[in-house]
Structure 1
Amino acid sequence: MEKFERKLTQFFHRIVMTTQEVFMDSYISQSISNAYSSPPLYRPYVKPHDFVQKNLYSLIPGNLWEAATGEKVKIDQIITQNAISVLSANQEDPRRYVNMAKDRQNCRKLQDDLQFGTDKFRNIVLNSLIPYLGELYCDPSANFVVQKLLDYATREQKISFLNAFKKDPLEIANHPCGSRVMQKFIECADTDLVDELYVFLSSSILDLCQSLHGNRIVQQFIDILPNRVPEIIKCIMPYTISLVADNCGCRVVQHLFQPFDQNKLAPLISEVIKAAPQLTANQYGNYVIQNIIDDGNEEQVAELIKSYKGYYYSFSIHKFASNVIERCIRRANQAQREFIFADIIGVEENYNYDRIYSLITDKFGNYVIQRILEFGSDSRINAIYDVVDKNYDELQDVGYAKHVITKLKALGFE
């Protein structure tokens, strides 16, 4: 260290002797400005010896230092010296790290120091911030520092994080910044600590399901605590319909379909099927219905298909419901498809040609017609062809109808 400081002093004296004072002032001012994102309006002249004493030689460009001394400065030297300076200041002001974490620019520097610093340095920062976690969780800048700390925290330190959550878990889970910290904790902590957090939030699961940020917490509980899933289902069961039709709630219900056997979700699915027509036309509920069609058992799908009787045509030209009808056609067996097609365009020798024309020219209905061409009987395919052939000059100028015409040509119709 003494050799390093001696070379540093020689370097500054060489600059003073070979350049004008004006250039020296400009150089130092520029160096300090580059090191601090928000410099004060006034910077006093700093003597070379002051740089040595205050360990600020990391402000010197590496190429100039190498030219003057013939040695390269290593990144760990710079970080270590900066850390020493900050640690000394922190001993004078216990809230120094808190203030740095809350500052938009300094919080980024602190994150970098944590990433490239030593374990000893990280522990000092952790122990300095832990008493103030309650005010850091929901801070727009400090929450990123806290998330970074969780990557390096020990189990004992994570328990301190958990204790800070317990003071107001619902507010933190619903907060845009606090929710990120809680999600990070759930990712990093041991399962027993996550379960302890769940216990504190269990009475508010329904509120979290409908929260823009809290619903992500519930989804993580579903992934990490499978033994708690029956409790979650029991909690949301009386409110299934409102949750499925909710922007946030539908995400939680959908998430249940991914890792679990549908037989375990049978009570929940039964509640959804009871309100299937209502939910199918809902901008959020239709996604849950599609999950049931894709992953439900044969009995559940059959019950769902029957529940749409009388709705198939109107749903075929509906923005959200048309997707469900397409999936029903793909999942159904041949007898069920005949039931669906009859409800949409009628039965053989009594087809509703007006409906066929409307579906062909509709931006949603044309996809349902294409599914009829894909899975329907020859009689139904011929009925669709007759409508196209009769109105060909008109339909070839309609963008949506072109999809149907192309499909017919692929089947060999001219």
Structure 2
Amino acid sequence: MSCDDICVQAIEVVDLAQQTKMVAELDGHIMRCVRDQNGNHVIQKCIECIPQDVIQFIVSTFYGQVVLLSTHPYGCRVIQRVLEHCDDPTTQQIMMDEILQSVCLLAQDQYGNYVVQHVLEHGKPHERTAIIDKLIGQIVQMSQQKFASNVIEKCLAFGNPVERQILIGEMLESTTESEPLEVMMKDQFANYVVQKVLETCDDQQREMILTRIKAHLNTLKKYTYGKHIVARVEKLVAAGEKRQGLQPACTAA
């Protein structure tokens, strides 16, 4: 067992006085620990287990560094723990302001996207709305990006009905050059976003989207990723037909 593992376990079991003494030894070494493969676990455990007033000197070290840490393989975990456990209004405001200033950059980053997803899934409604507002207008492009596509899926899953309608509307917009939905269905990442749309939309939206998709089914079958959409549509159509078939029997009963 490493020294870091021992330290993590100790933080969980010792009393507050001992925790305070242990944490004080980290002063001046916070950022180095955060970026360390083992040290970051110690910082995370401090944030999870020790009262905020005791670890405020740790958290305040992150002010002005949120984007930098969010794009780091270990730093992104620490930022998520702060968002989870530190409910101090000043800390929350600073963290969210820095995240919102760079939402598009973070969404496309291999580590930063997890921080944005965390806020979408666990954040307050107004924080979720603020992130979605920043992404509106770029939904189709983001959906075609490896990491950002996961963020868009979270927007669809956790956004409210009005926000979901806006996101879907952007995907269904037609231009003289191309239809975004068709482009997305053929894309290696965006096809999963289309599938998430079909999972999260209401019945009226689903019927409208299925009608648009069905016009492209034969073409989609020629594309590797388009086949995923074809399979999903066929499954939905079969399920709908099954429900309709059962309905008379249920009514008669």
Q: Same fold (TM over 0.5)?
A: yes
Q: Alignment partner for residue 229 of structure 2, among 387, 396, 404? A: 404
Alignment TM-score, normalising by the size of structure 1: 0.51
Q: CA deviation at 1:383?
A: 1.5
Alpha-carbon distance change, 332 to 184 in structure 1, aligned in 2, over 3 angstroms: closer
Q: Alignment partner for residue 120 of structure 2, among 293, 316, 336? A: 293
1:385 aligned residue:
214
* Alignment partners' CA distance in 2, 1:261 and 1:387: 49
2:67 aligned residue:
241
Superimposed CA distance per residue, residues 160-215 of structure 1 (whole angstroms, 9 cap, x where no aligned partner) = xxxxxxxxxxxxxxxxx432343343344333112101112122222221222211
2:248 aligned residue:
none
Alpha-carbon distance change, 229 to 182 in structure 1, aligned in 2, over 3 angstroms: closer
2:187 aligned residue:
362
Answer with 1 or 2: which has the greater Rg: 1
* Alignment partners' CA distance in 1, 2:237 and 2:177: 24
The answer on 1:194 being equivalent to 2:19 is: yes
Q: CA deviation at 1:246?
A: 0.7
Superimposed CA distance per residue, residues 49-80 of structure 1 (whole angstroms, 9 cap, x where no aligned partner) = xxxxxxxxxxxxxxxxxxxxxxxxxxxxxxxx
Higher relative contact order (CA 8 A, sep 6+): 2
1:169 aligned residue:
none
Structure 2 spans left out of the alignment, 5+ residues: 242-253
1:321 aligned residue:
148
* Alignment partners' CA distance in 1, 2:142 and 2:211: 23
* Alignment partners' CA distance in 1, 2:3 and 2:236: 57
1:158 aligned residue:
none
The aligned amino acid for 2:74 is C
Alpha-carbon distance change, 294 to 352 in structure 1, aligned in 2, over 3 angstroms: farther
Q: 1:346, 1:352 within 8 Å by CA — same for their partners in 2? A: no
Q: 1:245, 1:279 within 8 Å by CA — same for their partners in 2? A: yes
Q: CA deviation at 1:341?
A: 2.1
Deviates more, 1:376-385 or 1:282-291: 376-385
Q: 1:329, 1:371 within 8 Å by CA — same for their partners in 2? A: yes
Q: CA deviation at 1:400?
A: 2.5
Q: CA deviation at 1:327?
A: 0.7
Q: Alignment partner for residue 31 of structure 2, among 179, 183, 206? A: 206
* Alignment partners' CA distance in 1, 2:81 and 2:176: 41
Q: 2:195, 2:232 within 8 Å by CA — same for their partners in 1? A: yes
Q: Percent identity?
A: 24
* Alignment partners' CA distance in 2, 1:295 and 1:193: 31
Deviates more, 1:248-257 or 1:259-268: 259-268
* Alignment partners' CA distance in 2, 1:214 and 1:342: 45
Structure 1 spans left out of the alignment, 5+ residues: 1-143, 145-176
Q: Alignment partner for residue 3 of structure 2, among 149, 163, 178? A: 178
Structure 1 residues 119-268: aligned runs within 5 Å: 144=1, 177-227=2-52, 228-261=54-87, 265-268=92-95
* Alignment partners' CA distance in 2, 1:186 and 1:379: 55
Alpha-carbon distance change, 404 to 267 in structure 1, aligned in 2, over 3 angstroms: same
1:99 aligned residue:
none
Deviates more, 1:273-282 or 1:329-338: 329-338
The aligned amino acid for 2:50 is L
1:273 aligned residue:
100
The aligned amino acid for 1:358 is V
